[in-house]
Structure 1
Amino acid sequence: MAQETLPDRSPAAGPGDGPGGEPGAGAPSGRLGRLRRGLRSGGRAGWPRTLLAAAAGLLMWPALPPFDLTPLAPVGVALLTLVLIGRTARTGAWLAFLAGAAFFIPALEGISRIGPDGWIILSLVEAAYFLPLGAGIAVVTRLPGWPVWTAALWVAEELVRGRVPFGGFPWARLAFSQTATPLTPYASFGGAPLVTFLTALIGGLLACAAVAVHRARSEGAVHQGGDAGKPPRPRRALLPAAVCLAAVGAVVGGGLLIPTPADGRPVTVAVVQGNVPRLGLDFLGQRKAVLDNHVKATHDLAARVRAGRLAKPELVVWPENASDLDPYTEPDAYNAIDGAVKDIGVPVLVGALTDTPDGEKVENRGIVWDPWTGPGDYYVKRHPVPFGEYLPFRDVLTKLITRFERIPRDFAKGDRSGVMELGPVDIGDVICFEVAYDKEVRDVSRGNLLVVQTNNATYGKTSLPPQQIAMSRLRAVEHGRTILVAATSGISAIVAPDGRMVDRSREFVPAVQVASVPARTSRTASDRLGEAPEWALALLGLGAVCAAAWTARKNEGN
């Protein structure tokens, strides 16, 4: 049967356009005409969808700390999915990029402290990962069961974004918006990727329910104007919406039934936040003052212990950059640290910058400092920050951007995990934004306690420190471990294995936190499965794209 050719009714066809979007009478022709028509209509997507895509990204942003409006994450996913349904892959990619830009620009606002150009460029680079995501969602929504396939594509997007290039930048993942919700316990089974999948799945199911309701209303309107003898079918048409909402309830309810054990051998710990002289990039100009602050806070802790006002800790944790004076080569720094450690009388994990043996690079270390034997085992940060702690394409970029002169030497990359003995327990140490990386944290999860040494002075009073705390809460549940977060200027925290906040400091004040916490040895399913759930879900999404493309080609041939 020959198919009837209909005029193009897409939003791209604006006033003055003929069938298929061709210029009508009096309309400009050629490239200029196409450009003008595109601007009038908001591109092939049309202005309504374009604005809704941006709104979807803005909706997802407040789901992250410090706002913590966590339900907005799946709602934003649902809105973006509705915008992409029925679009071509190319249009879907563009709409998703707009949503990504609207999401990442406010979510990464703290990066503006190092320069507004770096903030905007990084945000747009992150948004570019939404291009294939949007194209994929537009394609797979043509398949049955599409909420599952769209959710899997979100996992695939985060998998790539967290690895490429320069090791990736997995900040602001969907999972990190759900660190104190009914979805959090799922992390103990499939880690952050499973939480992302379920967050996106809820969004897809909400979108599917909205589509079903719309179809039911359309059918109801048709029947009202149709034959009086035919019974209306809106109730039957609403059944898919009910099924989708029931599935949402099952996902949420299932999380509430997952136990999050928090038992273990009690260990008394202390986290020291010495504070920094001032906020911003130049705080390192007073390196001795930063060290002195942490030394003084530790002496004060020892005095309060002797006075019986605090329980004596069995281990103490200092933050990253507590000493930017190399204690191996600076006698004053060595003596100051050693004196504080001897005063408290227990091992201290000291965050320090040290020179490599050849003097060409710097190491960001967490050093186990014993009160009797001095510095011993140490961990070197394995994931230094590109363009922050080391400079790719140094010869070219230093000539173009003078600000990179602040990085005179690259940081070396460590080559082993941070599992070390600290007092009565084994700890697993990660430094700064390594907490955002699944692999780095998983590698040290065999420790009895997890430690995050961080320096947030540059990004203080922005959304980035609370977002980092949220990641630590998810990691606690994911690996069933107490997490000690030590920050130079805050936010420092002690997080229980069930994600509960035991203690949390304010920013830019000296603070010492002492608590008895469980040291655990049991492993979670997430520890045992490793990367398998993430790769399985990502491949599921990729397979759905291939199936949808094959189905479309097959239909075109019929």
Structure 2
Amino acid sequence: MAAAVVGGLTLAAAFPPWSVPLMAPLGVGAFFLAVNRRGARSGAVTGFVFGLAFFGPTLWWLSASIAPAAWAALVLLQSGWFAVLGAGTALVRRLSYWPVWVASLWTLIEGARSSVPWGGLPWGRLGYTAVDTPWAVSLALVGVAGTSAFVALIGAAVAGTVEAVRARRPVVVVTRPVVVGCVVGGVLLLISVSWLPLEPAEASPSRPGSVSVAVVQAEVPGAGTDVAAHHRAVTSTLLDETRRLAHTWGADGPVVDLVVWPENATAVDPAADATARDALLTAVAVSDAPVLAGSIVDGPTADTALNQGIAWTTDGPGGRYTKQHLVPFGEYVPLRPLAERISARVVDIQRDMVPGIPAPPLRVDDLVLANALCFDVAYDDVLREQVAQGAQLAVVQTSNAMFLGTAQQEQQWMLSRARAIELGRSVVVSSMNGISGAIAPDGSVIDRLPAARSGATVVSLSVEGGTTLAVRLRAWPARTAYALGVAGVLAAGWRARRQRANGA
């Protein structure tokens, strides 16, 4: 149990606010050492304790921003997934080449908890920690899911080395399965590239190798967390910052190709609200460029809404992207009667949002954009599928004002940096009041605005046309790891059944 607690805290240190990514394999290694081969029941308990030690500090921002009860409930739920992981790990640890099986199983559980329940929580995945590490390139090769398997494999090698040294066995016994795992995974991915039906990226309009984008950040009055109560002031502030920035361009300034406002730039539907519509059209006029702004749009019924990014030009609203992955208990409320007892904030969510469907990239003039709204960026499919269809630049619009002053904003920024490497695209982030800026295709930070106050900046970004191997492979690295994880559990179960039969 002590090893489980230390391992969970060590893994938490890989994420903001501590941001020591090299600790990730050590924390995973401690988990595999703690679970060992004591049996599924013991492994489940150990995994649950590890989950508490990991998710407790990693998701602490929920306690301050939502409610302590919400934080406790989510930590317990996610720790339950680690209990499942611990039970499975205890079984597959008895197999030959166990580092391969446990790394695949870890990735399988990450995928499960990123989907269940209510769309899951893809926070705290190992692949995100690869930013600023020697193995960051793996994000461009096998994506976030494949990188999670790779980091878990390193952690298994750490655990195996400790066990080998302690038992005075040759370390080659540990390194061999790691090498075999890398080779097998590489072969499977090559087969996927060669034989699986991967659609090529659509042709994109030709344009210069760089584009100038204005990134605008708002400022929420008062404590800075209640956007709905101050939505008019937020829209006005965004317009003022756009106008101020446009005045500084001057005759010799850069020609801006796109202006990006954050998610919830208008908390009312600009199609029905003249004030919001006028502000957006004025922003287009003063900047002499299209404006991509986030808006809450009326849904198909009176009690529903859509969260959209809308491209505005002098002709009015154009292309739209509708948020696909909504935040449960934030943008819609499952189990509403119970949720209202846990958090008073839920009462303020009067309309449930409706998720969008997978959409092609936005075409704004001759620029093709991959768009994601806030929570979308944590999921593998949204930006990747748009880049596979020819998007040249990725834009993330977010309204995480309620998390102001917490580690959530830095964690989401880390996610955006990982996506930049995975996609091989520059990523623009426009936030309500932090963190806004621009990220290069290699994950490095080009520019970043100060948090908690309004501001704007113009960045020159590269326009890319090719695709990374991770984009071309799409979901196959994850599917490969999932298949190996299931195969490992089945093999361990078959072996245990055979041993019981022989013993009888």
Cα pair distance change 1:178/1:68, threshold 3 Å: same
- The 5-angstrom pairing of residues 448-527 of structure 1 reads 448-527=392-471
Following the alignment from structure 2 to structure 1, what is the Cα–Cα distance between the partners of residues 269 and 358? 21
- The 5-angstrom pairing of residues 129-528 of structure 1 reads 129-216=81-168, 237-240=169-172, 243=175, 265-279=209-223, 281-306=225-250, 308=252, 310-370=253-313, 372-394=314-336, 397-398=339-340, 402-417=344-359, 419-445=361-387, 446-528=390-472
Cα pair distance change 1:299/1:73, threshold 3 Å: same
- The 5-angstrom pairing of residues 8-47 of structure 1 reads none
Instruction: Deviation per CA, 1:222-246: give whole Å up to 9, x if none.
Output: xxxxxxxxxxxxxxx3343784799
Structure-2-length-normalised TM-score: 0.90
Cα pair distance change 1:161/1:242, threshold 3 Å: closer
Q: Per-residue deviation at 1:356?
A: 2.2
Following the alignment from structure 1 to structure 2, what is the Cα–Cα distance between the partners of residues 436 and 403? 23
Q: Per-residue deviation at 1:150?
A: 0.7
- The 5-angstrom pairing of residues 79-158 of structure 1 reads 79-112=30-63, 113-158=65-110
Find the partner of 1:545 among 456, 476, 489: 489
Cα pair distance change 1:183/1:278, threshold 3 Å: farther
Following the alignment from structure 1 to structure 2, what is the Cα–Cα distance between the partners of residues 288 and 403? 21
Q: Per-residue deviation at 1:441?
A: 2.1
Kindly indicate whether the alpha-carbon contact (under 8 Å) linking 1:469 and 1:493 is maintained by their aligned counterparts in 2: no
Cα pair distance change 1:418/1:433, threshold 3 Å: farther
Deviates more, 1:546-555 or 1:92-101: 546-555
Kindly indicate whether the alpha-carbon contact (under 8 Å) linking 1:279 and 1:458 is maintained by their aligned counterparts in 2: no
Following the alignment from structure 1 to structure 2, what is the Cα–Cα distance between the partners of residues 400 and 137? 34
Deviates more, 1:466-475 or 1:416-425: 416-425
Q: Which amino acid aligns with 1:424?
A: D
Residue aligned with 1:385, SS:
coil
Residue aligned with 2:317, SS:
strand
Kindly indicate whether the alpha-carbon contact (under 8 Å) linking 1:205 and 1:244 is maintained by their aligned counterparts in 2: no
| Residues matched between the structures, number | 476
Task: Look up the match of 2:475.
Answer: 531
Deviates more, 1:523-532 or 1:453-462: 523-532
Kindly indicate whether the alpha-carbon contact (under 8 Å) linking 2:36 and 2:90 is maintained by their aligned counterparts in 1: yes
Runs of at least 5 residues in structure 1 that lack an aligned partner in the other structure: 1-49, 217-236, 255-262
Residue aligned with 2:226, SS:
helix
Kindly indicate whether the alpha-carbon contact (under 8 Å) linking 1:327 and 1:354 is maintained by their aligned counterparts in 2: yes
Residue aligned with 2:427, SS:
strand
Residue aligned with 1:269, SS:
strand
Find the partner of 1:62 among 5, 9, 13: 13
Cα pair distance change 1:328/1:293, threshold 3 Å: same
Cα pair distance change 1:535/1:102, threshold 3 Å: same
Residue aligned with 1:375, SS:
strand
Kindly indicate whether the alpha-carbon contact (under 8 Å) linking 2:329 and 2:339 is maintained by their aligned counterparts in 1: no
Kindly indicate whether the alpha-carbon contact (under 8 Å) linking 2:396 and 2:427 is maintained by their aligned counterparts in 1: yes
Q: Per-residue deviation at 1:404?
A: 2.0
Larger radius of gyration: 1
Q: Which amino acid aligns with 2:118?
A: F
Q: Per-residue deviation at 1:342?
A: 0.4
Cα pair distance change 1:522/1:206, threshold 3 Å: same
Instruction: Deviation per CA, 1:358-388: give whole Å up to 9, x if none.
Output: 4331111111000x21212211112221111
Task: Look up the match of 2:203.
Answer: none
Kindly indicate whether the alpha-carbon contact (under 8 Å) linking 1:126 and 1:161 is maintained by their aligned counterparts in 2: yes
Following the alignment from structure 1 to structure 2, what is the Cα–Cα distance between the partners of residues 498 and 467? 18
Following the alignment from structure 1 to structure 2, what is the Cα–Cα distance between the partners of residues 268 and 288? 28
Kindly indicate whether the alpha-carbon contact (under 8 Å) linking 2:22 and 2:133 is maintained by their aligned counterparts in 1: no
Q: Which amino acid aligns with 2:52?
A: A
Residue aligned with 2:352, SS:
coil
Structure-1-length-normalised TM-score: 0.81
Q: Which amino acid aligns with 2:334?
A: P
Task: Look up the match of 1:24.
Answer: none
Following the alignment from structure 1 to structure 2, what is the Cα–Cα distance between the partners of residues 450 and 212? 45
CA RMSD of aligned residues (A): 2.2
Cα pair distance change 1:242/1:194, threshold 3 Å: closer
Kindly indicate whether the alpha-carbon contact (under 8 Å) linking 1:418 and 1:430 is maintained by their aligned counterparts in 2: no
Residue aligned with 1:377, SS:
strand
Instruction: Deviation per CA, 1:18-44: give whole Å up to 9, x if none.
Output: xxxxxxxxxxxxxxxxxxxxxxxxxxx
Following the alignment from structure 2 to structure 1, what is the Cα–Cα distance between the partners of residues 26 and 144? 19
Cα pair distance change 1:539/1:431, threshold 3 Å: same
Provide the identity percentage.
37
